[in-house]
Amino acid sequence: MVKAVVGANWGDEGKGKITDMLAQNADIIIRFQGGANAGHTIVNDYGKFALHTLPSGVFYGHTTSVIGNGVALNIPVLFQEIKSLTDRGVPAPKLLVSDRAQMVMPYHILFDQYEEERLAGKSFGSTKSGIAPFYSDKYAKIGFQVSELFDEDLLKEKVAKIVEMKNIVLEHLYHKPLLKEEELLACLHEYREMIAPYVGDVSSFLDKAMKENKTILLEGQLGTLKDPDHGIYPMVTSSSTLAAYGAIGAGIPPYEIKEIITVCKAYSSAVGAGAFVSEIFGEEAEELRNRGGDGGEYGATTGRPRRMGWFDCVASKYGCRLQGTTDVAFTVLDVLGYLDEIPVCVGYEIDGEVTTDFPVTAKLEKAKPVLEKLPGWKCDIRGIKKYEELPKNCRNYIEFIEGQIGFPITMVSNGPGRDDIIYK
Ligand code: GDP
């Protein structure tokens, strides 16, 4: 049984918490796209952790954590992350890394920084983790696949070719220090040493696991609106954030994905540049930011303050549809308990017309939110375990949004912990 946990919006919806929770009853948790550019925050019996590369199931002894071929694998970051867990008493994870995954190279990170510097005020707001240069190289067919680490002749030849190409850009476009062949080769040797014990054929491992009826979770990073095809291009990430891509980034047949749990946060937040129709500013935003998430809405990787907004039904309906949602997990609802009235964006006004269809970016830039105000519940809902025990206005808020987005909300998260969940 394969289930995907993905985001409906701009990321930071709380996928980590939902994955960690579902991992209790899973055998394998696999990351299928993205890199160490975003993070999941997880609160469990061991404490509070920020994960960037490891799947959110690493805290259990019974699970195997897998890095799929679709991931941008940063080997030093992965190792640091493993160490940060074992240093705090978490048992070393059972880890399998796809021999088809490609590696983020030190020069990808440099190119990311240099390009942001060059673009200055017009930058994309990259986290500078090398993700865009990494995926550009992958599709330009000049990336390094993990399997290639074990073929010394190929490696040498490829290093020479890549250093030659990269140095032209470094010299003439960025005016920065050049790469050296011996250094790059030494770095790849180091990566080989580190990763060798974990490398394997992930798709055949998963094929066998499916035949044995194991439960497999595909863990997405970011959300629909950051998808390079279906999101707010060009203010998107460089790999597909959709559950459908889970089949490719893990190496399984698409029809095996039986449940798609799309995580939707009870209000909106976004990082980086790009249109954000229901965005709020000033004190109103500041208050939601500071009360939001678990200890404020600040990036798990960068510490950047997130942009804040009211729940956006237009974006979320679209986000859930593109994911192929079977279940919505509605998260961080507890945070809204302080509000007398809660505005919700129910439509976009574009050139004088109101629509509930999410538009292409050029139109999105012109969209103004149509807001409807719902009454708040003015109390703390943490600790509640039964849906019927939620205040009436709180249930109204959930059911109103469910009606607007048109997908069933089957889980409501009312706190950051594993057990803070209400099944509806
Ligand atoms: P992800 O990238 O989708 O996993 O999201 P992040 O982990 O970056 O952001 C979600 C934040 O919200 C984290 O700090 C979580 O601990 C926290 N969180 C998740 N679910 C809830 C919830 O229901 N209530 C509260 N208050 N915080 C939550």
Specify whether 185 is located in the same domain as 222.
Answer: no
Q: Are the CB atoms for 99 and 145 separated by under 8 Å?
A: yes
Question: 306 in a domain, yes or no?
Answer: yes
CA distance linking residue 290 with residue 274, whole number of Å: 22
CA of 293 to the centre of ligand 1 (A): 5
From 332, 390, 424, the mutation candidate for ligand 1 (largest count of ligand atoms within 8 A of CB) is 332
Task: Name residues contacting ligand 1 (CB within 6 A).
Answer: 7, 11-17, 38-41, 43, 293-294, 300, 331-332, 334-335, 413-416, 420
Q: In a 3-state reduction of DSSP, which class is residue 144?
A: coil
Specify whether 181 is located in the same domain as 217.
Answer: no
Q: Domain end: 164, 197, 230, which one? A: 197
Tell whether the model's pLDDT for residue 127 goes beyond 70. Answer: yes
Check 12, 20, 137, 327 and give the catalytic one.
Answer: 12
CA of 135 to the centre of ligand 1 (A): 27
Q: In a 3-state reduction of DSSP, which class is residue 200?
A: strand
Q: Domain end: 151, 178, 197, which one? A: 197
Specify whether 185 is located in the same domain as 233.
Answer: no
Tell whether the model's pLDDT for residue 72 goes beyond 80. Answer: yes
Of all protein residues, the one whose alpha carbon is nearest to atom 18 of ligand 1 is: 416
Specify whether 127 is located in the same domain as 78.
Answer: no
| CA torsion, ordered 70, 72, 77, 83, to nearest 10 deg | 0
CA of 367 to the centre of ligand 1 (A): 28
CA of 416 to the centre of ligand 1 (A): 6
Atom of ligand 1 lying closest to residue 43 CA: 16
Specify whether 245 is located in the same domain as 364.
Answer: yes
Of all protein residues, the one whose alpha carbon is nearest to atom 10 of ligand 1 is: 14
CA angle, 38 then 196 then 151, to 5°: 110
CA distance linking residue 316 with residue 313, whole number of Å: 5
- The CATH number of whichever domain residue 214 belongs to comes to 3.90.170.10
Specify whether 254 is located in the same domain as 385.
Answer: yes
Q: Domain end: 197, 225, 247, which one? A: 197
Specify whether 332 is located in the same domain as 405.
Answer: yes
pLDDT of residue 301: 67
Own/partner pairs for 154-163, CB < 8 Å, 24+ apart?
A: 155/185, 155/188, 156/185, 159/184, 159/185, 159/188
Check 40, 52, 108, 230 and give the catalytic one.
Answer: 40
Is there a catalytic annotation at residue 40? yes
pLDDT of residue 200: 98
pTM, two decimal places = 0.95
Question: 253 in a domain, yes or no?
Answer: yes
Atom of ligand 1 lying closest to residue 7 CA: 3
| pLDDT tens profile 385-412 | 999 999 999 999 999 999 999 999 999 9
pLDDT of residue 37: 78
CA distance linking residue 360 with residue 229, whole number of Å: 10
Specify whether 27 is located in the same domain as 7.
Answer: yes
pLDDT band at 49 (very low <50, low <70, confident <90, very high): confident
For residue 18, the enclosing domain spans: 2-86+203-423
Atom of ligand 1 lying closest to residue 263 CA: 3
CA distance linking residue 269 with residue 252, whole number of Å: 32
Question: 187 in a domain, yes or no?
Answer: yes
- The mean pLDDT of the chain is 94
Atom of ligand 1 lying closest to residue 56 CA: 4
User: C-alpha 293: how far from its chain's center?
Assistant: 15
- Burial label for 45, CB within 10 Å (0-12, 13-18, 19+), is exposed
* Number of domains composing the chain: 2
Task: Provide, rounded to the nearest whole percent, the portion of the chain with pLDDT above 90.
Answer: 86
CA of 76 to the centre of ligand 1 (A): 26
Query: Which of these ranges, 50-59, 77-86, 140-149, 155-164, has the smallest mean pLDDT?
Result: 50-59
- What count of other Cβ atoms lies within 10 Å of the Cβ of residue 420? 22
From 9, 13, 41, 43, the mutation candidate for ligand 1 (largest count of ligand atoms within 8 A of CB) is 41
Specify whether 277 is located in the same domain as 391.
Answer: yes
| pLDDT tens profile 91-123 | 999 999 999 999 999 999 999 999 989 988 777
Q: In a 3-state reduction of DSSP, which class is residue 298?
A: strand
Of all protein residues, the one whose alpha carbon is nearest to atom 12 of ligand 1 is: 293
One-character DSSP codes across 302-355? T-PBPEEE-EEHHHHHHHHHHHT-SEEEEE-GGGGGG-SEEEEEEEEEETTEEE
Specify whether 220 is located in the same domain as 321.
Answer: yes
Question: 92 in a domain, yes or no?
Answer: no
DSSP summary character for residue 152: H
Question: 95 in a domain, yes or no?
Answer: no
Helix axes 75-86, 181-195, angle to 10 degrees: 40
Is there a catalytic annotation at residue 62? no
Question: 237 in a domain, yes or no?
Answer: yes
Cβ within 8 Å of residue 136, ≥6 positions away: 238
Of all protein residues, the one whose alpha carbon is nearest to atom 23 of ligand 1 is: 332
Specify whether 49 is located in the same domain as 118.
Answer: no
From 10, 17, 328, 331, the mutation candidate for ligand 1 (largest count of ligand atoms within 8 A of CB) is 17
Atom of ligand 1 lying closest to residue 414 CA: 23
- Burial label for 228, CB within 10 Å (0-12, 13-18, 19+), is middle
pLDDT of residue 125: 67
| pLDDT tens profile 190-248 | 999 999 999 999 999 999 999 999 999 999 999 999 999 999 999 999 999 999 999 99
